[in-house]
Amino acid sequence: MSHYQIAVIVGSLRRESLNQKLANAVAKLAPAEFTFKQVAIGELPLYNQDDDANQAASVKQLKADLLASQGLLFVTPEYNRSVPGVLKNAIDHASRPYGKSAWANKPAGVMGVSVGAIGTALAQHSLRSILSYLDVPTLGQPEVYLQTKEGLFDAEGNIGKDSLMFMQVWMKTYVAWVKAHNV
């Protein structure tokens, strides 16, 4: 395979979202053969099983974008020690109707940044549990638990110097792992 498209799912809709900034900065570390493209989850309706036979256009688009990808990257805040509702809503939508999930077998990276010291660890573990049920293999190491601090991003929105080498190693590992899942 010569080109890999990664669907990026950001769990925050906030204008100044740190996780959005992280997703943008991480994408810049990707090699030329990888494209990181964010999928839209902010306009999805609230999931209602009654609509499974007639999914909204935004849901169909989300599922098409996921199915067209060779891998996933979840970048999410922690809300009340779990995943934000907006992210769970998107996961539920794309998992249905039963037997027609768009998630299965897409290798996923998981990361997040938080104001809290444990750097979204509990949200990520909750997310990994959900993804396991959906047959989404997740990259185990290196884990990425970031706490926001001065210099996490530089003035151009790149990963700051203190975390740069760590995130470059993460990207190298993730790229090799996605390739291994797409032979």
Which H/E stretch holds residue 20? helix 18-27
Q: Which stretch binds ligand FMN (CB under 6 A): 16-24, 39-47, 131-139, 155-163?
A: 16-24
**Closer to ligand FMN at the Cβ: 17 or 138?**
17
Residue 27 near residue 36 (C-beta atoms within 8 A): yes
Q: How far apart are CA 144 and CA 123, in angstroms?
A: 12
List the one residue out of 134, 158, 100 whose CA is nearest residue 9: 134
Mask of contacts with ligand FMN, 29-68, x by CB under 6 A? ----------------------------------------
Residue with tokens 């999410």: 76
Interaction residues for ligand FMN, span 119-148 (CB under 6 A): none
What string of H, E and C letters represents the secondary structure of 131-181? Answer: HHHCCCCECCCCCEEEECCCCCECCCCCECHHHHHHHHHHHHHHHHHHHHC
Q: How far apart are CA 30 and CA 178, in angstroms?
A: 12
- Closest CB 72 distance from ligand FMN, rounded Å: 18
Instruction: For residue 12, state whether it binds ligand FMN (rule: CB under 6 A).
Output: yes
What are the φ/ψ torsions at residue 30 (nearest 5 degrees)? -75, 145
Pairing of strands 144-147, 34-38: unpaired
Chain position whose Cβ is nearest to ligand FMN: 116
Instruction: For residue 149, state whether it binds ligand FMN (rule: CB under 6 A).
Output: no
Total interface residues for ligand FMN by CB under 6 A: 13
**Closer to ligand FMN at the Cβ: 127 or 175?**
127
Among 35, 61, 116, 134, binds ligand FMN (CB under 6 A): 116
Mask of contacts with ligand FMN, 155-174, x by CB under 6 A? --------------------
Interaction residues for ligand FMN, span 69-108 (CB under 6 A): 77-81
- Chain residues binding ligand FMN by CB under 6 A are 12, 14, 17-19, 77-81, 114-116
